[in-house]
Structure 1
Amino acid sequence: MIEISGFGVVLLFLIGGIAFLMITMLVGKILRPSRPTPEKQTTYESGEEPSGTAWGQFNVRFYIIALIFLLFEAELVFLFPWATVFGKEELMQQTKGLWGKFSMIETFIFIGILFIGLAYVWAKGMLEWVRPKPKSSSFQSKIPANAYDKFK
């Protein structure tokens, strides 16, 4: 019987995964109908007609809010093991409750640091959504304004 090393097993899984992907793509291409229309060829933009270019500017506050969200999402990644591992009854009995007190203090310190960060961001005004004031253009067109009435 032939023995396969650990790398051979990984190689077999890679080949199997690629083969599975190729087979499913081929079956999908054979089975699905192909009836392109101009409506199907347009870019999907949340159910709306696409307008303008894709190079639009975004407010920087979108990114700040996203970073704050990621910070608090990462907090949950660290709090979940504390809730599961530090709450084990056998550890509590072995350490006479010291383990539970230590884990609670550590958790409160962690949440406190995050709260201080949130308070700092809030105090700096980064969570306030300021709407930009519309700026009127100073461009003077050579075309009279009543010429645009034909297009309405």
Structure 2
Amino acid sequence: MGLVILLLTHYLPKLTRHGPRKDDSYESGMEVIGDARRRFNVRFYLVAMLFLLFDVEIIFMYPWAVKVTSVRAAGAPQAEITFLFGAMIVFFLILLVGYIYAWGKGIFRYD
């Protein structure tokens, strides 16, 4: 059965006819002007990656905040609460070092 599906998917697309307009791109019924594939500056991708990095930071902060709230409500010892805050401070410091490094490399400058 798998061989039949493999052969069908290989040979069926070849049965369609290709005309001069078949491979043209459709742009709302209008003629295409110029090339649609423009090059983007790599800085856009770098800023997008930094956005994802700090977005993931927020994802990690939410469970931490829930844990701190539940630990405080349960009346945990001060040492455990201090440890949780210390872990988040270390996390922030690592992110701050990365941000300062990106700033120093000039990722945020668009000259």
Superposition TM-score, scaled by structure 2 size: 0.67
- Are positions 1:115 and 2:101 aligned together? no
Following TM superposition, by how much is the alpha carbon of 1:114 offset from its aligned partner in structure 2, in angstroms? 0.3
CA distance in 2, matches of 1:127, 1:114: 16
Shift of 1:106: 0.3
Q: Residue type matched to 2:48 in 1? A: A
Q: Which secondary structure does the structure 2 equivalent of 1:121 belong to?
A: helix
Greater RCO between the two (CA within 8 Å, min separation 6)? 2
Whole-Å Cα distance in 2 between the matches of residues 105 and 77 of structure 1?
18
Could you say what secondary structure the match of 2:34 adopts?
coil
Q: 2:28 aligns with which of 12, 29, 42?
A: 42
Alignment coverage as a number of residue pairs: 83
Any unmatched runs of 5+ in structure 1?
A: 1-40, 44-49, 131-152
SS of equivalent to 1:54: coil
TM-score under structure 1 length normalisation: 0.50
Report sequence identity in percent: 33
Q: Which residue of 2 aligns with 1:129?
A: 110
Q: Partner of 1:55: helix, strand, or coil? A: coil
Structure 2 residue runs without a partner (length 5+): 1-26
Deviation at 1:51, TM superposition (A): 4.9
**Rounded Cα–Cα distance in structure 1 between residues aligned with 2:78 and 2:103:** 37
Shift of 1:100: 1.2
